[in-house]
């Protein structure tokens, strides 16, 4: 968590352009993750029979629940970043509003932390999903090899 404190100090020197670019990058990544969630949904549907097997079900259920939570959180973050981008006008309108500008910077600091944490959690989720599917594919391959003999 100490690394976040370094990021917080850095935001004070970010220009409006830098905050805009960072927000655009977040939005792009969040939209890409939204597409990946659709891919995960399709992947889960194609492996439904294997995922509901007695030995797999509880592990599969947990991961599916995490995917669902991640999708909901992703949608909320997309809306938060869109709103944040729309509020950027406070910084560029040429009117000196120190309280509003500081509030915008504070919101940007908070978004840095929230979004970075979400991206870390999402990478772990992806690893879990692919490990689960990889395990299923391995067991299917072993079953086919056993059936051949």
DSSP alpha helix (H) spans, 47-97: 48-51, 57-86, 89-92
What the block records as the tokens of 105 is 């910077």
Q: Which residue has the tokens 């949608």?
A: 75
pTM: 0.81
How far apart CA 52 and CA 48 sit, in angstroms, is 6
Tokens found for residue 123: 């990478």
Q: How far apart are CA 38 and CA 35, in angstroms?
A: 5
**pLDDT tens sequence for the chain (149 residues):** 444 444 445 545 678 889 999 999 999 999 999 999 999 999 988 888 888 888 778 888 888 899 999 999 999 999 999 999 998 888 777 777 888 888 888 999 999 999 999 999 999 999 999 998 898 888 887 777 776 66
Handedness of CA 98, 100, 103, 107 (dihedral sign): negative
């Amino acid at each position: 968590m100490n690394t976040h404190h370094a990021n917080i100090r850095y935001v004070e020197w970010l220009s409006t352009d830098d905050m805009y670019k960072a927000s655009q990058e977040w939005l792009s990544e969040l939209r890409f993750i939204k597409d990946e969630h659709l891919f995960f949904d399709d992947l889960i549907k194609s492996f439904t029979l294997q995922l509901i097997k007695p030995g797999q079900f509880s592990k599969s259920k947990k991961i599916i629940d995490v995917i669902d939570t991640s999708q909901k959180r992703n949608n909320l973050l997309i809306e938060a970043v869109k709103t944040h981008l729309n509020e950027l006008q406070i910084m560029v309108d040429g009117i000196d509003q120190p309280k509003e500008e500081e509030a915008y910077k504070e919101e940007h600091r908070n978004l840095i932390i929230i979004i970075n944490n979400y991206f870390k959690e999402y990478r772990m989720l992806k690893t879990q999903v692919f490990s689960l599917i990889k395990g299923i594919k391995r067991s299917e391959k072993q079953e086919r090899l056993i059936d051949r003999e």
